A and B are shown apart, each in its own frame.
Chain A
Amino acid sequence: MSTMLVGPQRGDLTAVSTHPATILGKVVARQASRSGALWGLAFGVFIVTQTFAYTSQYKTQAARDGLARAYGTNLGLNALLGQAKALNNVAGWAEWRFIGILTILGSVWGLLTATRLLRGEEEAGRLDLFLVGQTTQRAAAIQAVAGLGVGLVAMFTAITAGTLIAGHLSSVGLTLGQCFALSLTLVAGPAMFLAVGALASQLANTRRRAAAVAGALFGVVYAIRMIADTNTSVHWLIWLSPLGWIEESRPLTGHKLLLLLLVLALTITTAVAACWLAQRHDVGAAIFAGSNASAAHVRLLGSPAGLAVRLVRSSVAGWLLAVAAFALLVGMTAESATTDESGSSGIEHALSRLGRHGSPVEDYLGLTMLIVAVIVALVAASQITAIRGEEADGHLEVLLVRPLRRTSWFAGRVALSIFVLVATGVVGGIGTWAGAATQHADISFGSLITAGLNVVPPSLLLFGLGALTHGLWPKATTTVVYGYLAWSFLIELAGGLIKMGHWLLDTSVFFHMAPAPAVSSNWSSAAVLTGLGIAGTVIGGLFFHHRDLQNL
């Protein structure tokens, strides 16, 4: 035992940061650059493999001309990916395909990343820790936006690596300038929606609402671009959509790169507005804070199942509306999309090459129902991650310390999710039928309801994979589910035009879905997917029952 002296002696203070006021920017930059580099890497790999596959499969000019005849006039594909103008050469094909697909995915990355790193951090209260240091709200917002910019640079670097490798394949021969121009165009969408996400983070007081606001804006500009690309009489609409500016820039064939200056100006304006608004609201609040109080609505709050309905009803309504609108649009354009402008049978020929054997409208709808399948799979991913979120946020604990079995709660959430998935598929079928009916297309209600149900089994498999991960390794649920969904989507897109190894195609859940209504549904394959999904859910539920609850 010894006497301990208590005194004021302390060690000398050591500077551990040369610029403590900019630490927030560094933190955001680190997180954004990790994510940006990862997505950019995936995009780069996609660019390289797709380019290689194109040059391998369409070796002759005749084959490329055939491809151009078939897809260059396909209004459906034009609506989804933008107008294809020079598919008979690798530059035109690469421009259409990569800008069409990667701008969508990159924009979604942008809005999700910005809302996560700005509104998400503010909502969690972590921004407070920085704001009590040597910074202000506006400076913090500027730093955060700059940090997002670093993430964008990381994405650009990874994409450029991909375009340089693809461009220097012997049969492609893109110049260095063309590779950089393509890369620059590919990050225009992500840049713009990083800024939109930053702005939405100042407008809405929760991450979910901010993402919904930014997502709705993306939906509007995408829809405008789609309409402009499907109807020549209103093609001028394309100038109302920033996504249209990106499409029209055509860095490899059109050389209208100056249009990207418009995107840049809009991005900078939006980012500046976000920084300006950042100090126009209290920390943790937002410009549109919503209602802080309301009368009690307890109709659904009599049970955990009712609570689940209450919690997901808004997002499910949004999904159903989006699917219905998309399906309606697809149905309305099905008849015109299958009418070749030159009167040739190019589309039929091309679709037949892919194994489609229905009428032109059925073939077209079989192709576009893949998009509905992806949306339903996204719903499945959102449902299982919401289940994990209830546990991670500590909400589930509040219920499970009461007389409620884990298995009962889990079964209730699973039943609700399955109902939502089936409903989304059916709404997709009904919407397509309603749209096609307005154009007097010759396709029956029953076949489109069947086609709607046909897209559900892949989502059930994805849900089962998520439930299994949730039971075994809960913290990886989101990564595994969205990672596998992205993988399946990319493989399916790549496999649509390019021959790939069967084993590789097999890894995509969508490859096992028959393209109804182009062909009859493959119910045995659907049963296997459903069975695997149910098995994953049951096994995942058992593991969940026996493991520790894991909050964040």
Chain B
Amino acid sequence: MAVPAIRTEGLTKRYGTSTALCELDLELDPGEVVGYLGPNGAGKTTTIRLLLGLSRPTAGRAEIFGFDCQRQTVAAHRRLTYVPAEANLWPSLTGEETLHLLGRVQGRVDLGYREELVARFDLDLTKKVSVYSKGNRQKVLLIAALMSRPDLLVLDEPTGGLDPLMEQAFRLSVREAREHGQTVFLSSHLLSEVEVLCDRVAILRGGRLAEIATLAQLRHLSALSVEATFGGVPPDLSRVPGVVRAVADGCDVHLQLQGSIAPLIEALAGTDLRGLLSREASLEDLFLAYYGPSQVLDQDAPPAVVAAGKSDLP
């Protein structure tokens, strides 16, 4: 059995009385692309900093390809590269100089691929970092991470500041990485990006892992998205069996439905219904089901799907 690319056991980080990450159990197989989702402050960046050895855990442990992230940091780092959300580079260096430095510190570079990436991301390497836009600074770090062809890419919201064309270039690069058997751990707020790129999705909530599963598994468990349009004021559908979330917007009602749709159809009979549209839940729907307004309104209510550790779903 292959050594997991990432494995954490009870990984916990507290700052004083505040718990940023609580008993995280996570396992990523080599070669898979895993999205890491959660609202601001859920613990995504804390997880990544613990994996990289930049922060020390309060409890638990983490491994990268079997190397302890705290005790065997250098060995672990030989297998990975990282792109942070904020590209903090030395302003007095040019892009060329920065890539040279980071390649030398990493220890290995595919020079041909580096040139290909520079062309793909359309980056002028002669300019100093101080005059780069945020997007261009991010490109430098993306190229630096990809050009070493690491076994594991840890990406923390890597596409902030990239335009749509560069976003496509990024997606192409991640797909290439997967084709080469590289593992990708992608923390992102761009749900469309995660939906397109990732084999599995891990969802954090309040510092705890709420779910990790494939998108298909999540959709199977999740609510059906239904949009009903009425001729006048919509009826109260929140008490219909199976409706887990109902948001009224003028004459429209957006519903999340679990289980059979029959009770809803029965409830709609006799109403001034003008239109009915149902579709499979998108990742955004899944995300909102975990963190959306109804959850905010009712903090005590359990989330739609809560499970710890790697999914044991069918």
Q: Beyond A1-B238, A4-B293, is A404–B77 a contact (Cβ under 8 Å)?
A: yes
Is B113 close to A, CB under 8 A?
A: no
* B301 nearest in chain A by CB position: A1
Is B212 close to A, CB under 8 A?
A: no
Residue in B73, B128, B141 whose CB lies within 8 Å of A292: B128
* A6 nearest in chain B by CB position: B249
A296 and B105 within 8 A (CB): no
Q: Beyond A400-B54, A403-B77, is A4–B294 a contact (Cβ under 8 Å)?
A: yes
Q: Beyond A2-B297, A4-B294, is A401–B94 a contact (Cβ under 8 Å)?
A: no
Bound complex: CA of A74 vs CA of B92, how far in Å? Answer: 45
A397 and B88 within 8 A (CB): yes
Bound complex: CA of A303 vs CA of B100, how far in Å? Answer: 10
Which A residues are in CB contact (< 8 Å) with B53? 400
Q: Which bucket holds chain A's interface residue count?
A: 35 or more
B194 CB to nearest chain A CB (Å): 22
Is B279 close to A, CB under 8 A?
A: no
Q: Beyond A1-B246, A311-B92, A549-B55, is A404–B105 a contact (Cβ under 8 Å)?
A: yes
Is A3 close to B, CB under 8 A?
A: yes
Bound complex: CA of A393 vs CA of B90, how far in Å? Answer: 9
Which A residues are in CB contact (< 8 Å) with B33? none
Interface centre among B91, B105, B126, B239 (most CB of A within 10 A): B105
* A401 nearest in chain B by CB position: B82
* B95 nearest in chain A by CB position: A296
* A394 nearest in chain B by CB position: B88
Bound complex: CA of A398 vs CA of B55, how far in Å? Answer: 14
B238 and A3 within 8 A (CB): yes
Bound complex: CA of A394 vs CA of B137, how far in Å? Answer: 13
Instruction: Give the dominant DSSP class at A's interface.
Output: loop
Interface string of A437-461 (1 = CB under 8 A from B): 0000000000000000000000000
Is B102 close to A, CB under 8 A?
A: yes
Bound complex: CA of A293 vs CA of B294, how far in Å? Answer: 52
Is A19 close to B, CB under 8 A?
A: no
Interface string of B66-95 (1 = CB under 8 A from A): 000000011101101110101011111110
B243 and A1 within 8 A (CB): yes
Residue in B56, B100, B106, B244 whose CB lies within 8 Å of A1: B244
Which B residues are in CB contact (< 8 Å) with A16? none
B43 CB to nearest chain A CB (Å): 15
Residue in A3, A6, A205, A393 whose CB lies within 8 Å of B236: A3
Which B residues are in CB contact (< 8 Å) with A302? 101, 104
Which B residues are in CB contact (< 8 Å) with A1? 238-239, 243-246, 294, 298, 301
Is A268 close to B, CB under 8 A?
A: no
Interface string of A527-540 (1 = CB under 8 A from B): 00000000000000
Residue in A5, A301, A405 whose CB lies within 8 Å of B101: A301
Which residues of A375-412 are within 8 A (CB) of B? 393-395, 397-405
Bound complex: CA of A199 vs CA of B36, how far in Å? Answer: 48
B102 and A402 within 8 A (CB): yes
Is B131 close to A, CB under 8 A?
A: yes
* B108 nearest in chain A by CB position: A403
Is A291 close to B, CB under 8 A?
A: yes
Residue in A6, A296, A401 whose CB lies within 8 Å of B96: A296
Bound complex: CA of A1 vs CA of B131, how far in Å? Answer: 52
A548 and B238 within 8 A (CB): no
Is A92 close to B, CB under 8 A?
A: no
Is A10 close to B, CB under 8 A?
A: no
Interface string of B223-264 (1 = CB under 8 A from A): 000000000000011110001111111000100000000000
Which A residues are in CB contact (< 8 Å) with B89? 395, 398
Residue in A4, A5, A402, A551 whose CB lies within 8 Å of B105: A402
* B132 nearest in chain A by CB position: A292
Which B residues are in CB contact (< 8 Å) with A304? 105
Is B107 close to A, CB under 8 A?
A: yes
Is B180 close to A, CB under 8 A?
A: no
B82 CB to nearest chain A CB (Å): 4
B94 CB to nearest chain A CB (Å): 6
Which B residues are in CB contact (< 8 Å) with A294? 94, 126, 128
Which B residues are in CB contact (< 8 Å) with A292? 127-128, 130-131
Is B285 close to A, CB under 8 A?
A: no
* B252 nearest in chain A by CB position: A6
* A295 nearest in chain B by CB position: B126
Is B52 close to A, CB under 8 A?
A: yes
Q: Beyond A4-B297, A291-B128, A298-B100, is A399–B247 a contact (Cβ under 8 Å)?
A: no
Which A residues are in CB contact (< 8 Å) with B238? 1-3
* B245 nearest in chain A by CB position: A1
Bound complex: CA of A138 vs CA of B114, how far in Å? Answer: 45
Which B residues are in CB contact (< 8 Å) with A291? 128
B54 and A549 within 8 A (CB): yes
Bound complex: CA of A304 vs CA of B80, how far in Å? Answer: 19
A401 and B128 within 8 A (CB): no
Which residues of A356-374 are within 8 A (CB) of B? none
* B50 nearest in chain A by CB position: A548
Which residues of A1-54 are within 8 A (CB) of B? 1-6
Residue in A3, A205, A293, A400 whose CB lies within 8 Å of B126: A293
Bound complex: CA of A405 vs CA of B301, how far in Å? Answer: 46
Contact surface of A with B, Cβ cutoff 8 Å: 1-6, 205-206, 291-298, 301-304, 307, 310-311, 393-395, 397-405, 546-549, 551
28 A-B interface contacts by CB (under 8 A): A1-B239, A1-B244, A1-B246, A3-B247, A3-B248, A6-B249, A205-B130, A291-B128, A292-B127, A294-B94, A296-B125, A298-B101, A304-B105, A310-B93, A311-B90, A394-B88, A395-B88, A397-B54, A398-B102, A400-B52, A401-B52, A401-B81, A403-B75, A403-B77, A403-B78, A404-B77, A404-B105, A405-B74
6 shortest interchain CB distances as A-B pairs: A394-B88, A296-B96, A548-B55, A401-B82, A301-B101, A292-B131
Besides A4-B297, A294-B128, 15 new A-B residue pairs in contact (Cβ under 8 A), listed by A number: A3-B236, A3-B237, A4-B294, A6-B249, A291-B128, A292-B128, A293-B126, A293-B131, A298-B97, A310-B93, A403-B75, A403-B78, A404-B74, A548-B56, A551-B88
